[in-house]
């Protein structure tokens, strides 16, 4: 039947007055009312800390929190005990690096990254004593698989940590092929799915990835919560990332023992309300067919490319993207452009998008990004293009 975009937009309070053109969902998506209501209802009816209380509110809170874990697990085809709640994708990757990485990587071991990576999938690995090697990309922005093969042949790669979808070029990486190559070479694979998770149905068991991370706020859920999936045997062998309440089995004056997974990695009071919101977001998104979502978003992408190409001198950084379009305009700084159209309530993003190595490779310091979600329309694009042309005319006077 396809998507009823008019009806979908009505579910997002921030879009209700129809004056906002929001084309920045790669940074954070807007939230449907059902997510906001779920979080408010939790605070009004069930607010308590989880797991340790013996009163009814604590029991309700614990049930809601663990139901969110089950929902996140089912959403990506995992088991609940393989799901760790974090503050976001960034913290998930840091957990992998500081826990698994610190325990398993030595000075001569290699972590392989692609030039597409977000800083959150670069800096945690650079902080370790292991060596980082870079997988290049071709002119179309796709991972250079021959370069990957050459790095794997050296025999000391312990982990490939790679994005599933570039937040700048919109290029999707061939995860299954990369994972198979890595496993054949004795390496593990961590997938940064911050962008991928909202554009494609994922089954981590089918992928056979070892780690998989994403944030709730790009998935129409709240900020402040992320998901880390890791194979059970890896989680069980990894040391805890943070110490404190909830992650312990027993504490004595001589030391401590850890709780079972996943609690071992959830020290302190977890993001309970945010987990409730994430659960509601997953339930809301799951009502739609992924084929319909992809068809709608690709139609927007095709239309946006056509309209952007009408702007003299505009250079698209990629030609067949998913989720986002990035571009430059000679003589126009991205910050100036987005500031001027932002004053008209039109939201794009400008800068290096936390991908400085990629931008250096492309020979630019910054770009402008237009990104799409389920609630966007061709009218959003039309209004954005009009505002861009007005801004360009002003800036080139």
Q: Which two tokens stand for residue 204?
A: 């981590």
Residue 49 makes CB contacts below 8 A (sequence gap 6+) with 58, 61, 269, 272
Residues 142 and 341 sit within 8 Å (Cβ to Cβ): no
CA dihedral 329, 334, 337, 342 (to 10 degrees): 140
Residue of 89, 209, 324, 354 marked catalytic: 354
Strand pairing partners for 257?
250
In the chain the beta strands, taken as DSSP E runs, fall at 21-22, 83-86, 110-114, 131-135, 157-163, 188-192, 211-215, 226-230, 248-251, 256-258, 315-316, 324-328, 346-347, 349-351, 367-371
| 206 burial level (CB within 10 Å; 0-12, 13-18, 19+) | exposed
Ordered DSSP codes for 257-280: EEPSTTGGG--SS--HHHHHHHHH
* Cis bond upstream, residue 262 (ω within 30): yes
Known catalytic membership, residue 209: no
H-type helices in 220-355, by residue range?
232-237, 272-285, 290-308, 334-342
Return the sign of the alpha-carbon dihedral for residues 29, 33, 36, 38.
negative
By annotation, the residues acting in catalysis are 354
């Amino acid at each position: 039947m396809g998507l009823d975009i008019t009806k979908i937009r009505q579910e997002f309070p921030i879009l209700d007055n129809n004056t906002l053109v929001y084309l920045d969902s790669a940074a954070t998506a807007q939230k449907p009312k059902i997510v906001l209501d779920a979080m408010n209802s939790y605070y009004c009816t069930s607010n308590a800390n989880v797991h340790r209380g013996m009163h009814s509110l604590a029991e309700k809170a614990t049930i809601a929190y663990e139901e969110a874990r089950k929902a996140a697990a089912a959403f990506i085809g995992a088991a609940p005990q393989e799901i760790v709640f974090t503050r976001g994708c960034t913290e998930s990757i840091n957990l992998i690096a500081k826990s698994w990485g610190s325990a398993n990587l030595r000075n001569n071991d290699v972590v392989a990254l692609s030039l597409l990576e977000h800083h959150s999938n670069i800096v945690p690995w650079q902080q370790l004593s292991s060596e980082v090697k870079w997988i290049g990309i071709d002119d179309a922005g796709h991972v250079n698989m021959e370069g990957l093969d050459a790095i794997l042949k050296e025999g000391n790669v312990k982990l490939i940590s790679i994005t599933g979808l570039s937040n700048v070029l919109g290029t999707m990486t061939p995860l299954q092929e990369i994972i198979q190559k890595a496993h054949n070479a004795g390496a593990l694979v961590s997938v940064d799915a911050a962008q991928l998770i909202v554009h494609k149905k994922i089954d981590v068991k089918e992928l056979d990835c070892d780690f998989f991370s994403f944030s709730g706020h790009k998935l129409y859920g709240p900020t402040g919560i992320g998901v880390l999936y890791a194979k059970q045997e890896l989680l069980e062998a990894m040391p805890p990332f943070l110490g404190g309440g909830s992650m312990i089995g027993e504490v004595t004056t001589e030391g401590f023992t850890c709780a079972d997974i996943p609690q071992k990695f959830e020290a302190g009071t977890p993001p309970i309300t945010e987990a409730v919101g994430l659960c509601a977001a997953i339930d809301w998104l799951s009502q739609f067919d992924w084929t319909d979502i992809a068809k709608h978003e690709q139609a927007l992408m095709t239309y946006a490319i056509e309209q952007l190409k009408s702007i003299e001198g505009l250079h698209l950084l990629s030609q067949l993207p998913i989720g986002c379009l990035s571009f430059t305009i000679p003589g126009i700084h991205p910050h100036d452009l987005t500031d001027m159209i932002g004053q008209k309530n039109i939201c794009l993003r400008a800068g290096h998008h936390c991908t400085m190595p990629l931008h250096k490779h492309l020979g630019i310091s910054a770009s402008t990004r237009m990104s799409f979600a389920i609630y966007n329309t061709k009218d959003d694009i039309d209004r954005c293009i009009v505002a861009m042309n007005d801004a360009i005319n002003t800036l080139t006077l």
